[in-house]
Each structure stands twice: as structure tokens, then as C-alpha cells.
């Protein structure tokens, strides 16, 4: 933690505060619109600091956690060919589809999954996107370790995997895709907790054809309480990023 001058001595700089809210089970379109509103709020606060000459400390930061009704999302550079069903089939199944402005290819969101959208001003933390992605991965890796699972990285592919070096057993448990502009992040991660894995058969997950998808439930053999996973993830997030969390449900409505 940095130190700031205080007369003749020094004092510890206050950690950044991240306001967070439990989205509950929110339709993806509503969550995306909410992210965009908060993203613009963070950017506006950053520009105001620059105009007034204020230091890059105590910026605006938000975190949204929850899950979604069933939806496929395709990143800005993804291939629509990785969606293996027709729009008519999606409509019949009640599954939404969106091409969105994050990195990565196609993935599935649905009930029983933990999605997290950190909307952070990295100017107040560190200006390194690679480090940001590795820390998001590390949060998940440590949560998996608390359940006795060894989450790992796959070189050249963002996300968290089990047995990534075994071509017959490699399986992805957490997808990560972000957008960053003006050093402000949005979108984030999707950790399969009790997710319906059959839905991944309708896509080529993340555009990777030779790897499987898994969940905490599939690996442990029983459902896992999502609030428990949230608590464990938040603990790792605050420790690794050196921030404090403050719950504020009002950010869902303003």
C-alpha cells in the first residue's frame, strides 16, 4: 500500500472502495445496460479528477454479481458460426442471443452460474490489463482450491481450466471476457457453479473445439450454494486487488 505525506510524517493511503450489488437473476440486456451506465459514471469521475488536478485516488469503482436467464453472448471478434443453432431454435428454447463489445468468442450464461462484472478505474489501481486478467483468474483459482480443485491457466487462452495439459480431460470451468477503455473495465467472468452444461452443446464454447466445459457441481458431485461461492470470491478479490467492498443495492436503480 502506498504512503502519502501528512505534515512532517506519513500515513497509509486509504484503499480504494468498490461499491457492489447483488443483481439477482437479471436478463442479460438489463445487466449490459446497467454496466454501460456505471461505466460512463466511472469515466465521468475520472475526467473530473483530471480537470481539477485531483490525484488518481479514491475513484469510482463498481462490482455486479449474480446470474442471468439463459443467453448466449458473442464477443466483438467472435464467429457467429460458433453458434450451432438457428434463431428459430433459440426462440423456441427461450434463449437470448447478443453480440456484445467484450473480448473473447461465444459463451453461455444461465441460472446457477456466478457472473461478475468489475467496473474498475485501473488508473487508481494499476494500469496493466494483463495483470488485471491474471488477478481475475487468480481469484477463481483460489476459490476452486477452497473446494479441493486445482484450477489452472491454459497458455494463450484467458479463463480457468481443470487438467489443461491433458488433451483427453481438459475442461473449462470459468470464462473471462472484458472490455477496457480509458483504463476502465467492464464485463468480466462467468464461473460455472450449478450451470446446465447441456446448453454448451449448442455452441463451440469460446471458439475452442477440442476442450470440454465443467462446473463445480459436476466436479464435486453435488450442488454448491452460490452465496457461499460469492463470499469466497469476494474475499479473494479484496485481498488480491487490495480494495474494500461496500454493498450498495441502489446502484442497480440509479
Asked if residue 80 belongs to a domain, the reply is yes
Q: Would you say residue 133 has pLDDT above 80?
A: yes
Q: What is the pLDDT of residues 192-213, one digit of tens each?
A: 999 999 999 998 887 777 789 9
Catalytic residue check, 206: yes
What's 1's DSSP letter?
-
- What is the pLDDT at residue 12? 66
Q: How confident is the model at residue 254 (pLDDT cuts 50, 70, 90)?
A: confident
Mean per-residue pLDDT for 230-246? 98
Q: What is the pLDDT of residues 11-64, one digit of tens each?
A: 567 899 999 999 999 999 999 999 999 999 999 999 998 888 888 787 899 999
Residue 64's pLDDT is what? Answer: 98
Provide the domain limits for residue 150.
16-252
In a domain, 9, yes or no: no
Q: How far apart are CA 57 and CA 12, in angstroms?
A: 12
Tell me which residue has cell 497509509. Answer: 12
- The model's pTM is 0.92
Position 126 in a domain = yes
**Catalytic site residue from 124, 139, 174, 206:** 206
Model confidence at 189: pLDDT above 70: yes
The conformation of residue 195, written as its DSSP 8-state character, comes to -
Which of 240-244's residues contact partners 24+ apart within 8 Å by CB, and which partners? 240/135, 240/138, 240/139, 240/142, 241/18, 241/120, 241/125, 241/135, 242/1, 242/15, 242/16, 242/125, 243/15, 243/16, 243/17, 243/18, 243/61, 243/125, 244/15, 244/16, 244/17, 244/18
4 in any annotated domain: no
Q: How many domains does the chain have?
A: 1
CATH (domain of 195) = 3.30.930.10
In this prediction, residue 42 carries a pLDDT of 96
In a domain, 33, yes or no: yes
Residue 200 in any domain: the answer is yes
| Residue 118 cell numbers, joined | 468489475
Rounded to a whole number of angstroms, the CA Rg of the chain reads 19
Res. 134: pLDDT tops 70: yes
Amino acid at each position: 500500500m502506498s504512503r502519502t505525506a501528512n505534515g512532517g510524517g506519513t500515513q497509509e493511503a486509504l484503499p480504494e472502495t468498490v461499491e457492489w450489488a447483488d443483481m439477482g437473476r437479471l436478463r442479460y440486456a438489463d445487466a449490459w445496460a446497467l454496466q454501460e451506465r456505471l461505466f460512463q459514471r466511472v469515466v465521468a469521475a475520472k475526467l473530473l479528477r483530471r480537470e481539477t488536478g485531483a490525484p488518481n485516488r479514491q475513484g469510482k469503482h463498481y462490482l455486479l454479481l449474480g446470474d442471468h436467464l439463459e443467453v448466449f453472448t458473442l464477443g466483438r471478434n467472435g464467429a457467429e458460426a460458433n453458434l450451432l443453432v438457428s434463431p428459430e431454435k433459440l426462440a423456441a428454447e427461450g434463449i437470448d442471443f447478443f453480440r456484445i463489445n467484450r473480448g473473447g468468442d461465444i459463451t453461455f450464461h444461465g441460472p446457477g452460474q456466478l457472473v461478475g462484472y468489475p467496473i474498475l478505474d485501473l488508473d487508481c489501481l494499476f494500469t496493466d490489463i494483463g495483470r488485471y486478467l491474471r488477478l481475475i483468474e487468480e481469484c477463481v483459482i483460489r476459490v476452486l482450491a477452497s473446494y479441493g480443485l486445482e484450477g489452472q491457466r491454459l497458455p494463450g487462452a484467458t479463463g480457468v481450466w481443470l487438467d489443461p495439459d491433458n488433451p483427453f480431460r481438459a475442461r473449462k470451468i470459468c470464462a473471462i471476457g472484458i472490455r477496457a477503455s480509458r483504463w476502465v473495465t467492464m464485463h468480466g467472468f462467468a464461473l460455472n457453479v450449478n450451470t446446465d452444461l447441456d446448453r454448451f452443446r449448442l455452441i463451440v464454447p469460446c471458439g475452442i473445439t477440442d476442450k470440454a466445459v465443467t462446473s463445480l457441481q459436476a466436479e464435486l458431485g453435488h450442488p454448491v450454494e452460490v452465496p457461499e461461492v460469492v463470499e469466497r470470491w469476494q474475499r479473494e478479490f479484496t485481498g488480491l486487488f487490495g480494495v474494500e467492498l461496500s454493498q450498495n443495492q441502489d446502484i442497480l436503480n440509479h
